[in-house]
A = this chain, B = another copy of it.
Amino acid sequence: FIPREVIEKTKETMEALQKRNAAIQPSLAIIQVNWIYPVKNLKNKTISLCVGINMDFAIVKEVLKLNEDPGVHGLYLHLPPASTTSRVLTALKPEKDVEGLNHFSDVSLEGKTVLVLGGHGTLEVTLRCLIERNGMVAITSHWTSKNLKSEVCSSLSIIHSIWLLFLLQSPVLLFIQKNVVHSCTRWLQERQYQPWNLSSINLQPQTPVPSDIEISRAQTPKPVDQLAKEIGLLPEELEVYGRSKAKVRLSLLDRLQNQPDGKYVLVAGITPTPLGEGKSTVTIGLVQALSAHLKLNSFACLRQPSQGPTFGVKGGAAGGGYAQVIPMEEFNLHLTGDIHAITAANNLVAAAIDARILHESTQSDKALYNRLVPSVNGVRRFSPIQISRLRRLGMDKTDPASLTPQEINAFVRLDLDPSRITWHRVVDTNDRFLRKITVGQASTEKGQSREVWFDIAVASEIMAILALADGLEDMKTRLARMVVGTSRGGQPVTAEDLGVSGALAVLMKDAIKPTLMQTLEGTPVFVHAGPFANIAHGNSSVLADKLALKLVGQDGFVVTEAGFGADIGMEKFFNIKCRASGLQPNVVVLVATVRALKMHGGGPNVRLQTTELLEFSGCRSNLRKQIQIARLFGVPVVVAVNVFKTDTQAELDLVCQIAKECGASDAVPCHHWAQGGRGCIELAHAVNAAATRSNNFQFLYNLQLPLVDKIRAIAQQVYGADDIELSPDAKAKIDYYNQQGHGSLPICMAKTHLSLSHMPEKKGAPTGFILPIRDVRASVGAGFIYPLVGTMSTMPGLPTRPCFYDIDLDPVTEEISGLF
């Protein structure tokens, strides 16, 4: 006797499982006659052969083909008696046979235990029986019966069921014969965490160091499916894009949910020069050292570069010298299309906003209602997305005919205030002429023109959502609640109000999967989400970090990068991303260069004399301050000095010495640019040591503090400001967001990356300033409030001679030149 509640619970969880499981590829084929069991709900899991009764020749033909198909591990013949001819029974290879021919179609299972016999306990059949008849599951093996020929395939399907039932923690009765145990164990082991078997690629660095693209091209990457296998990914968790990139499915998180996370390392930097100080190269050099030299599993999590800067001034972002992601041109161009998907989704929202304003301005309530809820074949019904809007408006109705004229008015009119639209179009190109434009000037738009702008694509709120979401469902929810503007009545209007949120999720469904690539030394890298930590939060994605932390195993390392100086990227990493993910970092690596430290001390191009060395003020100001910021969060700091060939030994020694005086656990010079992972071994040891130190991680502010206090906490404790000063606009916005219930969101400051203060020219560690908050905006979907500090351009421009002058393609070899 099994209690009723247990049965109910089992039914529920099995239904959930069946849904989730739909994404898993087939490991077992079911041949079945569709007039007995329609196969609709089984798609993606089965190869179904739909034949009429007595058409055994068709079954035989299919069986013979499946016999030879290496992707099909077993066949479960589930046929009506009339099709069960000897021709059919003898066609199947013994190794592929999963015993069948049992029928329980007539048995009522209400409240009973289903005894699923032998090998035909395929998950699908078991579940369908259960779900259709509210039964319980008991599984046994009777592969000694005359119809069962193969141990392995039989066990495989049983184990499949057992394993999934085990995951569900559902009651299951097992009657397994001893000789099944071996196969069971093996199958279960395959689904367990696999230790890495990484074959690193040797590097032979040359002197002088060739160009980035030459180095990248000289190294042949491992096929990405080989890399995936080496790090324990299952084939069904991989979606290969070409030879050297693959998306990784999120189902991995379910499979390895009980696997402890590895160690989590954040790479941040001091306040950079406009050229950057090499955080990406340190990140890559560090994982090359950890994986390829110290033989500690490690993963780098990087952000996909924007194509704007790639063709503008910056060039690529795949690292540089002998610390790169390869092939660097694939990393820098298109990748697996995530930013393109974000652009498409973002601009669909923008088009929907303007079209809706136009349509509302030219149509009566009735006309709008008739179009929004049309009669299709005589039936009028709300789409699910419209039902959601009705609920938000407080209406419980589902029959379109039942709405009162007032309710129709409320439903059809978003009544967007054109002057309070906060959504912008984006493009992944440095197109300065789109910084301020007027749209809607064609006569067809009937005078609804307004001033708008384009942002660079990576600044889209959808990018922030991609980075912070912890799964498809969470992403979809966040996309739906994005606020695109305010109605004339002062109410926020969301993407779901526009009816577009389902389409956004559809456009983004592949983008949510991180892209697997590799370093020059053949160690794994995830590329996901985007840069621009000044105007966005600029961290790689929560999902990439989580997948990587499972994959590296308990003693492994995940090295993730935060944009720009520790005051911006790292502060957002802790206060926004770690809050969203629930993850806690073990070590912060703070990247510094002698060049930038000299700039903070007065000028970048000076060679310091011995006497000046003692007063190396960039160290005592900016470096010290950035170390202090990291320590505010209670995490050990290792300073990595990215060595340039112009640096003297005395300079390097002094930076390391001062860094340790200022509170760094350790400080080491890094030679990854010239030497690859070998040049980062010292850093790898330092990070490994620091990761074992005690860790008192804490957030900088409590979310329940008032918004103003949270902003002030960042300004004072991180930037070193005396106080903040809110413009009247900013004050009004804060009041509005409080009123809308957004007061407990974290803060994402939009501030220049070129100074700890809001003044790009103020180097070192400025003090005695008041931080001006010009305006405050909200990314409700991403889940943060972003104050604008001073003026920040959200669209870079092209210089007089953009990078593209040197970029070329050899049409014969297909080799690219000029990327760096």
Contact = CB atoms under 8 A, between A and B. Distances in A.
A451 interface: yes
A395 interface: no
A502 interface: yes
Contacts of A471: 811
B19 A220 contact: no
Nearest to A308: B351
A797 interface: yes
Contacts of A472: 809, 811-812, 814
Nearest to A210: B40
A430 interface: yes
A420 interface: no
Interface stretch (A547-555, A582-590, A798-806): A798-806
Contact of A808 (B20, B223, B385): B385
Contacts of A445: 432-433, 435-436
A47 interface: yes
A101 interface: no
A351 B427 CA distance: 11
Given A340-B344, A812-B20, A351 B430 contact: yes
A803 B500 CA distance: 9
A510 to B, nearest CB: 7
A646 interface: no
Contact of A502 (B329, B372, B429, B808): B808
A43 B220 contact: yes
Contacts of A109: none
A651 interface: no
Nearest to A475: B811
Contact of A809 (B20, B431, B453, B509): B509
B798 A352 contact: yes
Interface in A311-360: 311, 329, 333-334, 337, 340-341, 343-344, 347-348, 350-352, 354-355, 358-359
A804 B383 CA distance: 10
Interface in A342-393: 343-344, 347-348, 350-352, 354-355, 358-359, 363, 368, 371-372, 374, 383-386
B384 A808 contact: yes
Contacts of A810: 19
22 contacts: A20-B812, A46-B220, A47-B220, A50-B204, A58-B202, A241-B242, A333-B506, A334-B337, A343-B343, A347-B427, A350-B429, A352-B802, A354-B432, A355-B433, A355-B798, A374-B801, A432-B442, A436-B441, A437-B441, A441-B451, A500-B802, A500-B804
Question: Which 6 pairs from chain A and chain B are nearest by CB?
Answer: A502-B808, A503-B804, A340-B340, A473-B811, A435-B442, A351-B431
